[in-house]
A and B are shown apart, each in its own frame.
Chain A
Amino acid sequence: MMLAATFSGKLFAQDLLNGVSLGAVFALLGLGVVLIYKSSGVLNFAHGSMAMFSTYVYFQLTQSFHGMPVVVAAAIAVGIGAVIGAASYLGVFRRMQDAGLLAKVIASLAVAGVLQGGAAFLWRNASQARVPQQFPESSLRIGGVGLGWQEVGTIAITVFAGLALIMILRRTTFGIALRATAQNRTAARLLGVRETRVATTSWAIGGALAALAGVLVIPLAVLTVYSMIGYMVRGFVAAVVGGFVSLPAALAGGFVLGAAQESLKATPVEQLSSVFAGLAIAVLLLTRVERFFALDQELRALQELG
């Protein structure tokens, strides 16, 4: 609650900027969720827990190895995230390809539970941890408003990762194979696409993106076993913008969601901010936004899986 009684342009601009950086986190998570869904039809409710676990690894590295540069620790944590993602697929979801939606959702919730319980036990003496920033502690000032370098860096990395991912999906063999699988699994298999390999890679990238989101945003907050849940939910909203199949839409959607949510706080209707995500998703889903993004075949596949 701000004490500024009147609408302040400066406040609005500051909140908007903060919102963009928050939206970058939503976008990163949304990208991972979309990737995982495209490759295996699983809505990964463990996404937040994967991010949390990897960030705890980052925490542990910075605690145990004081000489290690923060960026190296972060990179290792992202690698761990990839491993967790791949392991989840290989251990659990690979056998559930033909299972129903409910079973998949519950299985991902179970993975989340295991990660959460494990993290709560392993780091029971650091149940509220703080981790260092990767970027300098000062800020970039433009006029009267500013954005911390950590937040600037988050935005930059997200944009880069998103564009890179989109390129990968368009140009590389892996990307084409993934899109083929998402469109029509049987046909893809018949054409020789190694589904397991594609899915494992997708899950690995997804897990890595989750970890990346965690190590970028948690330095500005407190790390607990529940820290990433709220972000994950917003990441789902970003993924929904793209109908779960479009990476560019998820990327843009995340940013827009964050910017809108935060900038509402500087307006007279600031209460709307906390419900904005809910409203957004209601509108998105009810207007069947996925129609704008899914190809006909993907749409059919969606309806089958839905």
Chain B
Amino acid sequence: MKNRLPVILALVGAGLVLPPLILDSTWNATLSLALIYALMGLSVVVLTGFVGQLSLMPATFVGIGAYASGRLVTNLATPFWGAVPLAAAVVVPFALVIGMIALRLKGLYLAIMTLVFANVVEQFLFTQDWFVGKQHVVDAPRPHLGGIDFASDKSYYVLVYVAVAAVLLLTWNLSRSRTARACYAVRDNEDAAQAWGINVAKYKLLAFALSGLIAGFAGALYGHWLEAVSTGGQRPLFGLEFSLTIVFFTIVGGVRSIWGPVLGAAVWVVLVKRLLAGSPDGVNIAISIFGAVVLLTMLYRPAGLIAWIGDAWRRLRRPRAQVAAGEA
């Protein structure tokens, strides 16, 4: 680990500094969007990858965070730097409610429950005037700090990068802690974990709380990326489609790795939303191919695309003879 540190720091630094320097505003906006989506996917990883709770409503938590942050800044005159963490915190009670319900439900039923809840919240909560404001669009302005105006895409990219990197780092750290090991035990065999004396309920609730926190944080950053959070067009903005999209690209990337959503979001945002947006039929075809890719991934490499990359990385670093042993 020690001798890799300079390399890692260099890569992190490059990610921070290069896009604002060499790419244009639109690409900076695209990459910051990809990072925000990665954070949304991370909330799925924490819940599903770490503790095995299948929740199909990440976008709901993201939405609550987005609207909350916008309303805090616009209507309650909260500075951005306080509004974003607060908005993330606001989501936690919601997540805990779902978590407490999850305690009584197993796998499949939890998935359905979250599906139905996502449907209900999108139709009910996100259409209420007291929540989304009378005009159904919530302004979410970007802050100033010293001389920096974060309304500029490049500055906002730096802000998002730092925020996402921090969250990823904390989560990575967490993923190697004893808490995480307990979570993995719960994920792999809940009854056995219970038998070993692990407080299953505590870890499940913890996972929901953390997942909600991350999703809310991502939502707040998302809201301020948009600068005006609406309730959507003909379909709600933070509805089922968005939730399933997040789950989708996270699985493709790899749901057990914190880098999985980074990869998945990069593919989804950069490829589908950006590169294909210039062609009349690109997106349709891309979605079908994406679906097919997911199918193949599920059939042949359920660990996700990140596993392919992980293998390639390991192959690069170790001599061939050790690869077979390392692949176990």
**Contact surface of A with B, Cβ cutoff 8 Å:** 43, 92, 95-96, 99-103, 105-107, 109-118, 120-121, 124, 226, 229-230, 233, 236-237, 240, 244, 271, 274-275, 277-278, 281-282, 285-286, 288, 303, 305-306
Q: Are B299 and A95 in contact (CB under 8 A)?
A: yes
Cβ-neighbour of A114 out of B111, B281, B291 (below 8 A): B291
Other A-B contacts than A110-B294, A124-B281, A277-B116, 20 sampled, CB-CB below 8 A, are A43-B108, A96-B298, A100-B302, A102-B251, A103-B298, A105-B108, A107-B294, A107-B295, A107-B299, A113-B248, A113-B288, A114-B288, A114-B295, A117-B285, A117-B286, A117-B289, A278-B117, A282-B113, A305-B108, A306-B108
Nearest Cβ in chain A — how far from B147, in angstroms? 46
Q: Are B101 and A306 in contact (CB under 8 A)?
A: no
Q: A101-B54, A226-B235 are in contact. Are A275 and B107 (CB under 8 A)?
A: no
* Chain A residues within an 8 Å CB radius of B111: 43, 105
Chain B count of residues within 8 A CB distance of the other chain: 43
Q: Are B119 and A277 in contact (CB under 8 A)?
A: yes
Interface stretch, picked from B167-175, B193-201, B239-247, is: B239-247
Candidate in A107, A109, A110, A303 with the most chain B CB atoms within 10 angstroms: A110
Q: A117-B287, A118-B288, A286-B104 are in contact. Are A274 and B235 (CB under 8 A)?
A: no
Cβ-neighbour of B120 out of A95, A116, A277, A305 (below 8 A): A277
Q: Are B298 and A107 in contact (CB under 8 A)?
A: yes
**25 residue pairs from A and B, CB less than 8 Å apart:** A102-B251, A102-B255, A105-B108, A107-B295, A110-B248, A110-B291, A110-B294, A111-B291, A112-B291, A113-B290, A114-B288, A114-B291, A117-B288, A117-B290, A233-B116, A233-B119, A236-B112, A240-B112, A271-B124, A274-B124, A278-B119, A278-B120, A285-B105, A285-B109, A306-B106
C-alpha gap A109/B54 in the complex (Å): 13
* Shortest Cβ-Cβ A-B pairs, 5 listed: A113-B291, A117-B288, A117-B287, A306-B106, A110-B294
Q: Are A113 and B107 in contact (CB under 8 A)?
A: no
Q: A106-B247, A110-B298, A230-B119 are in contact. Are A281 and B287 (CB under 8 A)?
A: no
Q: A118-B288, A121-B284, A226-B241 are in contact. Are A96 and B299 (CB under 8 A)?
A: yes
C-alpha gap A286/B247 in the complex (Å): 25
Q: B123: CB under 8 A from chain A?
A: yes
* Chain B residues within an 8 Å CB radius of A244: 108
Q: Are B109 and A240 in contact (CB under 8 A)?
A: yes
Q: Are B291 and A117 in contact (CB under 8 A)?
A: yes
* Chain B residues within an 8 Å CB radius of A120: 284, 287
Q: A106-B294, A114-B292, A124-B281 are in contact. Are A274 and B120 (CB under 8 A)?
A: yes
* Contact code string B80-113 (vs A, CB < 8 Å = 1, else 0): 0000000000000000000001001111110111
* Chain A residues within an 8 Å CB radius of B159: none
Nearest Cβ in chain B — how far from A191, in angstroms? 26
Query: For chains A and B in complex, what number of residue pairs have CB atoms within 8 angstroms?
Result: 130
Q: A102-B52, A109-B244, A121-B281 are in contact. Are A281 and B113 (CB under 8 A)?
A: yes
Nearest Cβ in chain B — how far from A249, in angstroms? 15
CB under 8 Å from chain A, chain B span 123-163: 123-124
Q: A101-B108, A274-B124, A278-B119 are in contact. Are A109 and B247 (CB under 8 A)?
A: yes
Q: B48: CB under 8 A from chain A?
A: yes
A37's nearest neighbour on chain B, judged by CB, is: B108
Nearest Cβ in chain A — how far from B285, in angstroms? 6
* Chain B residues within an 8 Å CB radius of A103: 298, 302
Nearest Cβ in chain A — how far from B302, in angstroms? 5
Nearest Cβ in chain B — how far from A270, in angstroms? 12
Q: B115: CB under 8 A from chain A?
A: yes
* Chain B residues within an 8 Å CB radius of A106: 247-248, 251, 294, 298
Nearest Cβ in chain A — how far from B305, in angstroms? 13
Q: Are A275 and B120 in contact (CB under 8 A)?
A: yes
Nearest Cβ in chain A — how far from B291, in angstroms? 3
* Chain A residues within an 8 Å CB radius of B124: 271, 274-275
A236's nearest neighbour on chain B, judged by CB, is: B112
CB under 8 Å from chain A, chain B span 289-325: 289-292, 294-295, 298-299, 302
